[in-house]
Amino acid sequence: MPSVPNEDDDRTPSASPKESPATRTLRKVLPHMDRANELVEQGRIRAGSYIPVELAQLCLPYRDPKDLHFWERTNGNKKLLIEPALLPSRDGSIRRGFPFGSVPRLFLIWLTTEIKMQGRTDGQPIRVELGESLQDFMRQIGLTTGGGTQRRRVMDQLNRLVRARITILDLSAEGGAEGSWRDQGRQLSVASSWSLWHAGDDDDGEAPLMGSYIEVSPEFARSIDGAVPLATDVLRELQTHPMRLDIYCWLVHRMYRMRKRESRVTWHQLEEQFGGNYSQTRQFRAAFKTNLLAVRMYYPRARISVTKDGLLLRPSPKHIPQRGDLEQRGDKYDIARDIREANK
C-alpha cells in the first residue's frame, strides 16, 4: 500500500491540522474513487467469487475477542455463534483463539468459490487443496505477498477458522405453552477434517502448504447453494477493511434478493449485525457511514439512503450484471451525494 508522505512531522496527533468531518470522510474514501470508477467503466464488476448466504448476512469478529467464551452477531431472526478454536502448539499445549479480521473472511470466500468451481453435487466429501504453496494460496485470496509475518498470520487464522465451532441459530422459532420454547439451529463449521502443514515444521522452509488440504463439512458444502456472487476485483480493493468486506457482501446480497418495494434497516439492527464493540451507537454510526461510502463507490447503482433512523434500501440493479441485464459501464459515482449523506 503506498503511504502518503506528510509535509510536517505529524507523528504527534495533536500537531495535525483541523479537519472538518466532511474532509475526514473524504480523506478516508477518496483513494477508492478512481479505482472504483475504473472497475465499473471497464466492466470488471463480474462474478469471480462467492460467499454463502448466511455469511453474507452475519459477521466474524474484526479484532481478536481474546478471552470471550463465544462470539455472537444477530441479523433479524438469525444469530451467528462462534466458539473459539482449540489450537495445538508444537509443544503439545493447547490455546484458544477466534478467527478474526480480513484473512478468514477472504478464505471463506475463496473456499466457497473453490467448491463452486468443483461443481460437486454427488454428496461425497469435498476435499479442497490449499495450493502449491502459501504464497500461491495468498495470491488466490487476494492477499499481497509479504514476508514471514504475513504467512504466519494467514496460517494462524486458517487454523482458527478451520477449528472454530460455528453455529447458526434460528430465533424465529415460536414459543410454546407454559413458557416452553423450541431451540432451532444448525452447525456451519467449515471442515470435517483437515491436514495443514505449519510453516515452522518445514525442514527446508519451502512450500509450507504443499499437501495441505481441507475436507469440507457437509453442512458448509450445503450452505453454498445459492451463494452470493461477488466481484473479485472489488474484494481485492476492500481486503484490508473487514467492515467494508462485510458491508459489501451484505449489500450485494440484500440487493440480490430484494423483492419488496423498499426496506428499512435501523441503526440498532445494523449495530447488532456489523458493530464491533462500540460503547455508543453514534460511534458505530460514524464508522459505518464512512465504510458504506467506500463500498458504494464499487456499487454505484445501489439505491440506498442513509436516514436518521438507519438505512432505506430500494430495489436496485444487481451488482453483478447477469445475462440480459443492461451493461453497467458508464455509471459514474456521485461522490457529492454520498458525502452529504454520510455527514447527515
Partner DNA sequence: TCGCATGGCAGTGACACGCG
Partner DNA sequence: CGCGTGTCACTGCCATGCGA
Applying CB under 7 A, the residues found at the interface with DNA are: 1-4, 6, 11, 13-14, 16, 18-21, 24, 28, 62-64, 100-103, 133, 135, 143-144, 146-153, 199-200, 202, 205-208, 239-244, 275-287, 291, 343
Is there a contact between 47 and 229 (Cβ–Cβ < 8 Å)? yes
Cα pseudo-dihedral 224, 225, 231, 233, rounded to 10: 30
Which CB, 87 or 207, lies closer to DNA?
207
With respect to DNA, which residue has the nearer C-beta, 120 or 285?
A: 285
> Quick one: 3 or 89, whose CB is closer to DNA?
3
CB atoms < 10 A from the CB of 149, how many?
8
Closer CB to DNA, 111 or 143, in the complex:
143
Q: Which is nearer to DNA, 207 or 258 (CB)?
A: 207
Tell me how far apart the alpha carbons of residues 128 and 119 are, in angstroms, rounded to a whole number.
12
Which CB sits closer to DNA, 227 or 284?
Answer: 284
Outline where the chain has alpha helix (H). Answer: 21-41, 53-57, 102-118, 134-140, 148-163, 218-223, 232-238, 242-257, 267-274, 281-296, 335-342
CB 257 within 8 A of CB 213: no
Distance CA 256, CA 251 (A): 8
CB of 344 to DNA, least distance (A): 7
Angstrom distances, CA of residue 189 to CA of 38, 84, 182, 219:
37, 11, 22, 7
Tell me the C-alpha to C-alpha distance, in Å, between residue 61 and each of 66, 74, 138, 238, 304.
Answer: 11, 13, 21, 16, 25
Gap between the Cα atoms of 89 and 229, Å rounded: 37
Shortest distance (Å) from residue 280 CB to DNA: 6
Q: Shortest distance, CB of residue 242 to DNA, whole angstroms?
A: 6
Minimum separation from the CB atom of position 325 to DNA (A)? 31
Residue with smaller CB distance to DNA, 13 or 330: 13
Shortest Å distance, C-beta 224 to DNA: 25
Nearest approach, Cβ of 4 to DNA (angstroms)? 5
Task: Pick the closer one to DNA by CB: 4 or 94.
Answer: 4
Residue in the structure block whose three cell numbers are 440498532: 268
Minimum Å distance from CB 250 to DNA? 14
Q: Quick one: cell of 221?
A: 458444502
Q: 214 by DSSP, 3-state: which?
A: strand
Instruction: State the nearest-atom distance from the C-beta of 29 to DNA, in Å.
Output: 9
What cell does 35 get? 479505482
Closest CA to 229 of 38, 50, 20: 50
